[in-house]
Amino acid sequence: PEALERWPVKLFEKLLPRLLEIIYRINAEFMTLVARKWPGDSDRLRRMSIIEEGDYKQIRMAYLGIVGSYSVNGVAALHSHLLTEGLFRDFYELWPHKFNNKTNGVTPRRWIAHANPAMTALISEKIGSDWVSDLGQIEKLKTLANNSEFQKRWLAVKQQNKQRLAD
């Protein structure tokens, strides 16, 4: 995950004292919730605290984000699994409904199919339409790479798209 920063409490004390008060309040209420759910589990309290104790107290920004958010998104099924089974397992056990998976971005096959219908038609004519749901099928285009007729049609579709954009 990208946002596993830990910010020194001393920095907040100096630059953002009111915000630090709010974070401490959020953490106190959250720790009360965790203690009620898992009475006597001091290890879990330590693991889940927004404030990481130690020689230098730090604010766990990802934990603050989880506690303060309605939803926690893994950007792919694998990422979601890693979050819920590993990194944020304790939080998942508390709030399984918060964790979900929404793949960010658009797959190449869907992008071509929706943004470029003429190219989609040409590709489907030559290799069938299974490539739209299985990108591995696009490998079949390799056999057409040196086919001059296919190359001309490919370039014609590209030129039509450029003209359409220019218009």
Would you say residue 81 has pLDDT above 90?
A: no
Helix/strand/coil for 58: strand
Q: How do strand 72-74 and strand 99-101 relate by DSSP bridges?
A: parallel
The better pLDDT of the pair 84, 2 is held by 84
Write down the domain spans for the chain: 1-68, 71-105, 108-166
pLDDT the model gives residue 139: 92
| Percentage of the residues of the chain whose pLDDT score is greater than 90 | 71
The CA distance from 21 to 15, in Å, is 12
Q: What mean pLDDT comes out for the span 127-156? A: 92
Long-range contacts of 35-40 (CB under 8 A, 24+ apart): 37/94
Residues contacting residue 33 through CB under 8 Å, at least 6 positions apart: 94
Decide if 132 contacts 120 (C-beta within 8 A): yes
Other CB atoms closer than 10 Å to residue 20's CB: what's the count? Answer: 19
Give the bridge partners for 6, in sequence order.
60
Q: What mean pLDDT comes out for the span 78-87? A: 86
Please provide residue 131's backbone torsions phi and psi, each rounded to the nearest 5 degrees.
-60, -25
pLDDT in tens, 22-57: 999 999 999 999 999 999 999 999 999 999 999 999
Residue in 123, 118, 116 with CA at minimum distance from that of residue 139? 123
pLDDT the model gives residue 3: 62
pLDDT in tens, 85-134: 989 999 999 999 999 887 766 677 788 888 899 999 999 999 999 988 88
Q: What mean pLDDT comes out for the span 138-156? A: 94
Decide if 100 contacts 72 (C-beta within 8 A): yes
